[in-house]
Chain A
Amino acid sequence: MHKFRLKFAIRSLMKSRVYTLLNVMGLAIGLGVCIIVFLYLRSEITYDQHIPNYKEIYRVSSVFRVDEQLEEYGGAGVGLAPLLEREFPYVEGTTRLIHINESVLFKRPGVQAGNAGVALADRNYFRVFELPFLAGNPDNALSKPQSIVITRSFAEKYFEEELPLGQVINTNNYEYTVTGIIDDFPANTHHIFSALISSFYQDEKLESWENSLWQIEAHTFLRLNKPTEAGQLTESFPGFYDKYMAESGSGLQAGYDINLTRLDKVHFNNHVKYDQSSGNRGYLYAFSGIGLLILVLACINYVNMATVRSLRRIKEAGMQKVLGAGKREIVYQVLIESLVLGAAALLVALATVELVLEFTPLNSIMNKDLSLNLSRYSSLWWLAPLFAAIIAFLSGWFPAIYLSNVPALAAIKKGLVKRNRGLGVRKLLVGFQFTASVAVVITATLMYQQMDYVKQKDLGFNKEDVLLIPIRDTLTARSISDIRQKLARSPYVKSSSSAQTIPGKSVDRIVINFPGMEGVASQQVVDFMMVGADYFQTMEMEFVKGQGFNGQPEELETYPVVVNEAMVRMMGWKDPIGQQVEIVAPGQAENYPGQVIGVVRDFNAHSLHDDIEPTIMTYQEETAGYLHVRVDSENLLSALNDLEKTFAKLTPGVPFQFSFLNRDLFKLYEEEQRQSQLILYLTYLAIFISFLGLTGLASFTTNLKTREIGIRKVLGADVRQVVSLVFREMLWLIIISVVLALPLAYILTRGWLSNFAYTTNLHPLIFVSSGLLAILLAYIIISYHSIKIARVKAVDTLKYE
């Protein structure tokens, strides 16, 4: 019996192939998006859960209280861990970890040198983090100085065929012995490094431990046996504070406390500073919302199209009833069809998800490594079919009930079933689809416009054609003058300069005293940059007054400084040139006296999320930072060639790396870029699904009107009049949808744009043209269907029914 029904369902679906194809596609899109969202959510909420004992590990964060302000940092002083272990015997173990943010150059004879991300850890790391070892002994892997534990991919890169255990590998300054190999980390971890170096071997005395407590140096982790011990520890911490920190605290006029966060909860603690966590719950909700929206749009489609199809099956259902089928049997039959469709859609969805994750940049856009990995997501294999079945069941319900209510007489008599029953609901559903689609179209357009604005905006310097070469080692820093001299001879290099930082990347803040001013105005915190000779020329910055630096000043009483217009405005200087400033150097007895020699036009030293700050710049030639090289864009390759040769000669052994300033700057908007990309994908899907939905409704409406159209044609109506007859019916629906979509898009976009200090204008034309475009699109779809019917011979349409 079931087999018979299944056969009937498949035949019936195969008979209306176009319908089945569209429906499977629509449903597959909804399911596919949900599967991707599921993988994404799973990856987000299982951070660090690859560590077998993650439930026992707690991260210690430091809460400082200064001037009644609380600030939380994801690290602590290096002495905190051993002191906690000493004071609280139930602490099973502690460990400290420091991430080295710049990658480190590793060398081995016979192997291409390369950079790798490393972290420093104390000897207890693997006693707290019970990571399985592929080789070596976790108990003593980090117990000797100059030991290194490497990941599988690090081993494959530097040791190729050899067995790495016990072998030696070098950096510029040190030699390390491999003492252990662990597996690579999944993408959803905060412990991102490919090698772990043993550290913290200084003579650790109680006194130095105590002194370290006010500094943030290392991520500190505790291992506790019972969850209640975490609360116990934080409750009894004030005793610890009184014993070790109260005295120094009162001198600093500050307070200190700790917070314990279980390892797997660290990810969403993103208010914490000095932290690796990057989780954003808002983003999580938004992403789930998008998934749900697409699914709802897809289900609406399914219901619509299945109901349209039901119209053509009224007679069939009636006939089945005459032959003895009850209501239940009809419902059963339609639901089986729905399940068959759902199963097909699930297969298509799984295949599509696999292809999308494998061959499109979606993973890199989301900064994830999602895949349909069965062993990793075993739950997916029963969840996905179950979910598909539920969706198919729910979507199939409406058409099933619709058909099962058809009386048996419908097989024989015409006009017995009100064919436009439920039309209002369907119009509402399609209207919802349309509103959502128009809203995302407008949102995507505005996001795109803002990203374009970010790319085009005049930043106060010329970001094009500037190459950046990082200066990370002392050899390169000391060779800067030589390098620049050599580069000056290249016909492809226009100008070059060193600077400690690049715009948009961690510009320092510094305290400046203004002698001669009084009260609040006598001391200000401003942006601070150290730049080399020719910096302003290389960056093509404009001077409003005065000039830039001319080489190293001789032993002067005052240091020349350049300021921006924002600084002049803040200080209210009528004549800025010659103004005196004092740069406060923290930890040093004396301040540096300075004198303004030039004012540059305001420039965006930060990303466009932030306003331009008052900025002060001093001269420093040999500094760690970046060499800025303005090249001839026509001869980029020759310029690069010259650069590489120069560096190879003057800084042998240092790998030549470079980037483009304009691209680095655009990376500041990675998050927004990612969001606008995702919204763009969403837009394609929403448009596609709404197109299906509108197609369904248009074909439904024209079907209802077949007879009317026939009669009108007999009476002399032409094709255009027939189209407008159908279009008029749906025009209001579309107009209302568009009108609702406009404010929705406005609200969505404004929230997103509020992240930027500099934004493009929300031009009303975008809203109007998107709305008109939507109406036009709808008109085309509706025309297609009405013309199809209008073209049929009037006699044939009259025979209909």
Chain B
Amino acid sequence: MNKLLLSLTAALLALPGVAFAAATGASSLKANPYVTIPIFLIIIGVTLAVVVNSARKTKSASDFYTAGGGITGTQNGWAIAGDYMSAASFLGISGMISLYGYDGFMYSVGWLVAYITVLLIIAEPCRNAGKYTLGDILSFRTNPKPVRAVAAIATVSVTTFYLTAQMVGAGKLMQLLLDIPYVVAIVGVGVLMVGYVVFGGMTATTWVQIIKAGLLMTGAAVLSLLVGIKSGMNPLQFFNDIAGSTNVQDHVKLLPIYLSELKSGTATMDAGQRFLEPGLFLTNPLDQISLGMALVLGTAGMPHILMRFFTVPTAIEARKSVIVAMFIIGSFYILTTLLGFGAAIHVTPQGIQQIDKGGNMAAMILAQKLGGDISPFVGDLLLAFLCAVAFATILAVVSGLVLAASAAIAHDIWVNVVKDGHADQHEQVMAARITSLVVGVMGIVIGIAAEKQNVAHLVALAFAVASSGNLPVVALSLFWRKMNTAGVIAGLVVGTVASIGLVMVSPNMTYPDKVADGAKAAYLKLEADIAAGTIAPEAMEKTQAIITAKRAEESANRGGTSMLGLSSALFPLKNPGIVSIPAGFLAAIFAALLFPNRRSEEMFDEVYVRQNTGLGMAKAIDH
């Protein structure tokens, strides 16, 4: 049971990973290539045209990293939304709602609330005090070389975790939807991503993100409209349709959590209504609070999100961009609810799980079904459009990540640490381009190498590192007079190491002994069923085969240990934030107090006045 939940959560977090591996067998979900390929070609064509156009304008380092600071607030808002809404939120959350109802909706809330932190605490001060990277903000009143080096390592680790999850997800998704080999899918996505970033820099990346956000919102809105029409555009009727669906009721009645509620007498007798109540999926409140902390603080510490605020000319535009992004992202999650519940009504949870156990394909099947109700061609068209949306989504997110990682390496390490800041514009742009190429190729290689790995926990890990390592030191640098070099380095190192360390000993890892226990429980149950005579004779052969397979699985895993040699998890939560975030803050504060630095304290006035007023701001255009 626990095992099942784990793998489902895992599947949800990084989308494909586990779930797609399990999604073998009869699949009725196939995109029609005669419709899909032209739509893909149009998207690739449009984005490449954008790249050619932006490449001409990308001459200086500030053009490359921040589009010359010439992005408007509204454009940046759309780009932030495009940068942020990954395929996991689009497909994973609608799937979670379609299978577990209310909990999926509750899960989506934190992803929007996170932007309050970005808006109130981070966006404007960063615009006023920063230039291209996290290292720029942190090195202002500290010893720049060690701080930049550590900041770059933190940035690269966060982006690598996130990028790996996205690349593997992209490969599995394209493999499933387009029926192409995994490696081809990864290389295809990777080449486009490298092309956008290397030639078009921030300008091209921004426009790819804007286009993607527009496509995603269009897809979600059209599909939601179709769902709404089916329920007469009446919210009360919509909820009646969900709870009244006998398929939803049957699905809930078979959920282990519902069965145990029935046993303890706490269950809502109306199984359909139970679908609209909390607790079918998210059963550990501490883990949710921990994830909530990582989202609320981690989003503001994500290097690729931070970087977006350097692209606007003023703090006022930075503020406007967060507000625009919040309306797009919030509306998107509300539409996602309609898609998830709509899929539960019209595709049924059973139909969704037939194609993918984790529910990741719910929105896709819904598109095919509702479009198909109008005409088969509309069904193909809608499905193809959603495939293209998923594709554009992946491209937009991975491009933003490659750009952020490259900026950290080229700008912080190469230009400011190795070259002491002595590099002319031409050299800086060359360094940025070469680094982007290398980072992109590494992304492709890691994506291919990680095909069989469980990458699901990497998204949670990226948010954990961003919230425990990056955010505490950024916030303290901006708002605390006594913050200094020791504080930044201690905070970054402790926050990052604590997050990674706790995840390595958490239930996210595979513990072969636990797998063996699960396999044993499964075959014992089947054997008991056989003994009790509840297995139909025609299913006997299949059941025996499953028992043999489960016995083999048990013996293969029995006595094995996790990557770190553990037989079970040491840390009980999947999300380390609740421990690692305070650890990051405390380490930074203690180190800063232990090794006080006069110069850092004296310079606080300058930082504080700058970030509040924008005085003396290094306008990106001035470079």
**A joins B in a complex:** no
